[in-house]
Amino acid sequence: MNRLEDVTALLQAWSEGDAEAGERLMPLVYAELRRRAAQQLRGERRAHTLEPTALVHEAYVRLVDQRAPWQNRSHFYAVASRMMRRVLVDHARARQRVKRAAGLRVSLSDVDAVQPAAEAEILALNEALDELAVREPRQARLVELRYFGGLSETEAASALSVSRATASREWSLARAWLHRRVRKGTSGLLPS
């Protein structure tokens, strides 16, 4: 059995209640989750208080609580990307609350003069993604998988059960819609 088959078998055993399978799973998926978290955090400001390890651990804790019937490795990483998005959004919201409590305010007239904080960009993207999810759920999911989860176009297509061509087309459409929706706030966030 190769490593990919091991992951799928352990995920299925874990979803059936085998706690030992969950413990054996972590070492097999940890490096990939950490790579994806580091990739995600590369776009953040340098003094970001959330490290890749912390992002992985928080996302994994939330995954453990899911008790989802895992279909395969792609499904697991798709759900992990959603958890990473939630962790980053929760972290950004908490930092924004701290800033507001400290009396920091940003007015719209200052937007062109000041580079927006990463937290504000993540919150703006999150809000736009929620809006896109109402209109085009698969496109929103695709952005979540690629941007927050670090999945490649091929991996995201597999997780969504669509062809790579469909994923590529919907990625372009979603990026264009999000750029129009959020304008300058996330113009550099989504890769080509």
Note the pLDDT of residue 2.
Answer: 53
Note the pLDDT of residue 18.
Answer: 85
**H/E/C letters for each residue in the chain?**
CCHHHHHHHHHHHHHCCCHHHHHHHHHHHHHHHHHHHHHHHHCCCCCCCCCHHHHHHHHHHHHHHHCCCCCCHHHHHHHHHHHHHHHHHHHHHHHHHHHHHCCCCCCHHHCCCCCCCHHHHHHHHHHHHHHHHHHCHHHHHHHHHHHHCCCCHHHHHHHHCCCHHHHHHHHHHHHHHHHHHHHHHHCCCCCC
pLDDT in tens, the chain (192 residues): 456 568 888 888 888 888 888 788 888 888 888 888 887 777 665 555 678 888 888 888 888 777 678 888 888 888 888 888 888 888 888 877 655 544 444 333 332 333 334 667 778 888 888 999 999 999 999 988 888 777 888 988 988 999 999 999 999 999 888 888 877 544 455 555
Note the pLDDT of residue 5.
Answer: 60
Note the pLDDT of residue 102.
Answer: 47
**Cα 181 to the chain's mean position, in Å?**
19
Note the pLDDT of residue 35.
Answer: 83
Q: Crossing angle, helix 118-135 and helix 73-101, to 10 degrees?
A: 130
Note the pLDDT of residue 113.
Answer: 32
Question: Residue ranges per domain, the chain?
Answer: 3-186
